[in-house]
Amino acid sequence: MTNKAITKPLIILTAGGTGGHVFPAESLAEELSARGYELALITDSRGKDNYHGKLGEIKNYSVLAGALVGKSKLFKIKSLFKTGLGVLQAIFILLKRRPVCVVGFGGYASFPCCMAAILLGVDLVIHEQNSVMSRTNRFLSRYASFVGTSFQKTKYIPFRTKQILTGMPIRKNIATLYNRPYQTRNNDKKFQLLIIGGSQGAKIFGEIIPPAIKNLPENLQKQLQIYHQCRKDDVENVTSSYNQCSAEITVSHFFENMVELYTQGSLIISRAGASSIAEITATKLPSILIPLPTAADDHQTTNAEAIADNQAGYVFKQKEFSSEVLCNLLQNLINDSEKLSNMSARAARLSIIDASKRLADAIEHEIIFASK
């Protein structure tokens, strides 16, 4: 009698838009692939065949989708029409491929596939990255087998919706940094300041941070090594803003060596997106967070509350974040290794570094194994 290899069922992931949606999908794809599951991705034309890593290796499908938030009435009508066609396209794909479940990570490109799963009775899993559930996910989650949440507390989850705290899946090479100790300064090590503006570049960082650095005493400037990420169009202006500064400055629209920067980092200034906070806590970096004020339902402010409440970093509203405030804060922090180490330890306690494993376990327990 011959032994046949056991083939695990197909799981379809759907995501689109910013890294906040794509990174957790990529992380879960790595975990599920290692467990032997067949995978496919449904996204829109922007994402199809444009992702790297595991998402780039699996079968990619493109469906029509359109954004609705912050758009004109005419644009919304066109988007609704496109989304309706996208749902029909996704229904055809699901009928053809017969997945055991669909996992949605948000972004308007994921809506057609999630809606198709609901209409066809395919098990749906929603992963909510933020501490405030998006309006789209509030609707979809009513029909989901469960919702995986990233934060201990998540606002606006519909009543009776099953929720499982999985954490925010992050890249494996970032998660492994949790095991390394936070590097306090010595006489040979410069204070490394990492400034990450996120996908939108945080133009205000380029307006406020360089003057704050230049207002520091000369001896403190010379102790600094700064890596500043901004929009590609702003690189030249931000670089010139640091003119006549005694710190070592590197300005770029993208850093490929994030693992190295996180490893050597002393302090990070960042927005408060879910992916950013998950990586900051996993790498145990003390932080200064400035939530994006235009984020839907002000979710970045709520995301940052855990950092502030646990004294793992400082949180400022954008209107309160000034060069003077930052300059005074940096003067107090740069040579206070004990303060920074305590912030690092508190950040570590907030981290969930096995989020992709937790989410994969929940999918198996609630759907795969439960159906047998």
pLDDT at 47: 66
pLDDT per position as a tens digit, 282-304: 999 999 999 999 888 999 999 99
196, 226, 203, 232: which is closest to 214 by C-alpha?
A: 226
Q: What is the mean predicted confidence (pLDDT) over 174-195?
A: 89
Q: What percent of the chain has pLDDT above 90?
A: 78
pLDDT band at residue 1 using 50, 70 and 90 as cut-offs: very low
pLDDT surpasses 60 at 3: no
Q: What is the mean predicted confidence (pLDDT) over 93-101?
A: 98
Please name each of the domains of the chain with its CATH number.
Answer: 10-170+354-368 (3.40.50.2000), 175-349 (3.40.50.2000)
How far apart are alpha carbons 310 and 301 in whole angstroms? 15
- As a whole number, the mean pLDDT across the chain is 92
pLDDT per position as a tens digit, 119-150: 999 999 999 999 999 988 999 999 999 999 99
pLDDT at 370: 85
pLDDT at 314: 98
pLDDT surpasses 90 at 111: yes
pLDDT per position as a tens digit, 329-368: 999 999 999 999 999 999 999 999 999 999 999 999 999 9
pLDDT band at residue 2 using 50, 70 and 90 as cut-offs: very low
